[in-house]
Amino acid sequence: MPYFFTSSSHLVRNQRALGKLGFDVSQLLSGPAILPEGTPFFVDEDMRPVEPMCSYFFDLARHVGSESLRDYAYDLMGLEDFLAQVLDPPTDLLSATEADLVAFRRWRTQLAPVPVGPATWRRNRTAINGFYDWAVGAGLLGPV
């Protein structure tokens, strides 16, 4: 899944080209809906936002810095890739079961080509738990 991170410096650097396309860069950098620097966003093959990932990170960006956002984005993309490509049958983030998540932990910490250590797994787990807590709070999943 294609992904990007917001960057005001990219907007400023490409201000002239964006102006030719009808965008007002000053509005993009100061409007009420501006995303914090480094907020990840995900798009499909038609460049449309992918949910629930976009909404989760747009909400998370209000509370977490850009480095953590980047780490959490990669952590959740790793889970999403595992669910879609390694599990049989494949599943998605909102349909994953506890058994799927346990299988991911085992794969990530023991079976992956380069297993991660305890500190990295704790960060992975924080990202995963945060996503599922948000999904329950947003009404996308029932309470556990």
Higher per-residue confidence, 15 vs 118: 118
- At 17-31, the pLDDT tens digits run 767 777 676 766 676
DSSP class of residue 40?
Answer: E
User: Which residues fall within 8 angstroms of residue 8, CB to CB, at 6 or more apart?
Assistant: 29, 37
Question: Which helix or strand (DSSP H or E) is residue 41 part of?
Answer: strand 40-42
Question: In the structure, what pLDDT confidence band is assigned to residue 32 with cuts at 50, 70 and 90?
Answer: low
**Does the pLDDT of residue 121 top 90, yes or no?**
yes
- At 42-55, the pLDDT tens digits run 888 888 889 999 99
Question: In the structure, what pLDDT confidence band is assigned to residue 12 with cuts at 50, 70 and 90?
Answer: confident
**What stretches of 36-144 show up as alpha helix (H) in DSSP?**
53-60, 66-81, 98-106, 118-137
The C-alpha atoms of residue 136 and residue 123 are separated, in whole angstroms, by 20
**Does the pLDDT of residue 68 top 70, yes or no?**
yes
Averaged pLDDT for residues 67-85 = 95
The C-alpha atoms of residue 86 and residue 13 are separated, in whole angstroms, by 40
**Does the pLDDT of residue 15 top 80, yes or no?**
no
Helix (H, G, I), strand (E, B) or coil at 98: helix
Amino acid at 59: D
